[in-house]
Amino acid sequence: MGLPVVAIVGRPNVGKSTIFNRLVGERIAIVEDKPGVTRDRLYGKGEWLNRHFHVIDTGGIEFGETDEILTQMRHQAELAIDEADVILMVTDGRTGVTDADQELARMLNRTGKPIVLIVNKIDNPDMRADIYDFYTLGLGDPFPVSGSHGLGLGDVLEEVVKHFPGGEDEERDDDVIRISIIGRPNVGKSSLTNAILGEERVIVSDVAGTTRDAIDTPFERDGQNYILIDTAGMRKRGKVYETTEKYSVMRAMKAIEESDVVLVVLNGEEGIIEQDKKIAGYAHEAGRAVIIVVNKWDAVEKDDKTMLRFTELIREEFKYLDYAPILFVSAKTKQRIHTILPKVNQVAEAHSMRVSTAVLNDLITDATIMTPPPSDRGKRLKINYATQAAVKPPTFILFVNDPELMHFSYERYIENKIREAFVFEGTPIRIWTRKKT
């Protein structure tokens, strides 16, 4: 199920992160001028010859005692072993083969998984002779590359895609709604999973971090098929000490990418903390439909204004999720659990909604008449034509006389008009401006 996974492993300072950035391209550099959208990633997405794949960066091994390096490297290799379809082992052509490289190569050889050996920092043709020592690792032909200059990575990717399972990206069943449940540890994600399913399918414990894996559970309700993914709680990156927990965050990130709808779970007892905003940012940035679920509402002391105040707080703290509906539930007492799946159906439909070009252009014309675009130094923005380019999330392209004239505030105005007309509840909307040609 899902896209192939490529894991990047290697000892410190061989250039793993540089190669990761090259493989995922612009996805690593998403810049959005909205508060709370996270920038750091363990997972990225790459593409080569129309084959899409996930990339894991297993960086972060720090120097210390030699034994400690090998221990940490072994943990990182285990991540790759668990997750990857293909493993990229990165070495340093300037320093040559080291004992640590030999140790890692022996571990990877035992996995039985396809391994592509990269010799990085081969920045000019005169250095190509330095790669021959790397045949001693027993991993086949080494590929000379320069991560910093982007040289040689095409040959690497040609080799990588040969090892992907299947000939093409798997077709997803559009009739199945994939739901992932995300949130920091101990907000009640596993209890919520069991409450939705109506049976004890996932271990529930008061100890934070009980769920180590992402568990796919297919089920059917009222004629609709779903796959529910309960993910391990995501802690703040600085607190991710255990390798198993790093693995859990990776699985959660992948679950988000593979989802149609993400339930962002908050703890009603504890309120909102910074990490909640980071976690929700992952889902928003991935372009998934989002529902904010406030769990443990039964344990909150309430008056007639409590729900309203909490809603206002969520809207203030999650400004970039102003499109997401909010549900107040209790997995423990089953309070309002029955409202979740109907709302999931609703936002999934909005997430995949397509608007006809004629209707869209009528709407844009009316919007520009009601509020004409602002002018800049005597030049006024003119929107010539609009079309919907994609769904999941709905993505619109505006062809204009000069994209530089599209101010953020006017783009937001256009988005609001589209939302008013077509009720895109629960889904982000992407708007791109292109110069009319």
* pLDDT digits 0-9 by tens, 90-101: 999 988 999 888
Do β-strands 176-182 and 261-267 pair in parallel, antiparallel, or remain unpaired? parallel
Query: Binding site annotation covers 256?
Result: no
Query: Binding site annotation covers 11?
Result: yes
Q: 316-343 burial string, b = 16+ CB within 10 Å, else e? A: ebbebbebbbbbbbbbbeeeebeebbeb
Query: Binding site annotation covers 17?
Result: yes
pTM of the model: 0.67
Per-residue pLDDT at 97: 92
Query: Binding site annotation covers 13?
Result: yes
**194: pLDDT strictly greater than 50:** yes
**76: pLDDT strictly greater than 50:** yes
Query: Binding site annotation covers 189?
Result: yes
Structural domains present in the chain? 5-162 (3.40.50.300), 176-350 (3.40.50.300), 357-435 (3.30.300.20)
**190: pLDDT strictly greater than 60:** yes
Query: Binding site annotation covers 416?
Result: no
**Angle 66-83/99-109 helices, nearest 10 degrees?**
30
Query: Binding site annotation covers 156?
Result: no
Query: Binding site annotation covers 87?
Result: no
pLDDT, tens only, 147-167: 888 888 999 999 999 998 865
Per-residue pLDDT at 252: 67
180: nearest Cα among 344, 328, 353: 344
Query: Binding site annotation covers 59?
Result: yes
Query: Binding site annotation covers 230?
Result: yes
Per-residue pLDDT at 59: 57
Per-residue pLDDT at 312: 96
Query: Binding site annotation covers 187?
Result: yes
Query: Binding site annotation covers 150?
Result: no
Query: Binding site annotation covers 33?
Result: no
Q: How far separated are the first and last CA of the chain, in Å rounded?
A: 40
Query: Binding site annotation covers 423?
Result: no
Query: Binding site annotation covers 123?
Result: yes
Q: What is the pLDDT averaged over residues 298-312?
A: 92
Per-residue pLDDT at 274: 82
Q: pLDDT grade, residue 240 (50/70/90)?
A: very low
**41: pLDDT strictly greater than 60:** no
**231: pLDDT strictly greater than 90:** no
* φ, ψ dihedrals at 54, nearest 5°: -85, 150
259/265 Cα distance (integer angstroms): 15
Per-residue pLDDT at 127: 76
β-partners of residue 6 are 55, 86
**206: pLDDT strictly greater than 70:** no
Query: Binding site annotation covers 233?
Result: yes
Kindly report the average pLDDT of the chain as a whole number: 81
Query: Binding site annotation covers 345?
Result: no
Instruction: Give the Cα-Cα-Cα angle 258, 262, 264 (nearest 5 degrees).
Output: 140
Span of 188-197, 227-236, 303-312 with lowest mean pLDDT: 227-236
Full strand arrangement of the beta sheet holding 143-144: 43-48, 51-57, 5-9, 86-92, 115-120, 143-144
Per-residue pLDDT at 276: 84
Question: Token pair of 31, please?
Answer: 């810049």
Query: Binding site annotation covers 152?
Result: no
Query: Binding site annotation covers 14?
Result: yes
Query: Binding site annotation covers 297?
Result: yes
Q: What is the pLDDT averaged over residues 381-396?
A: 94
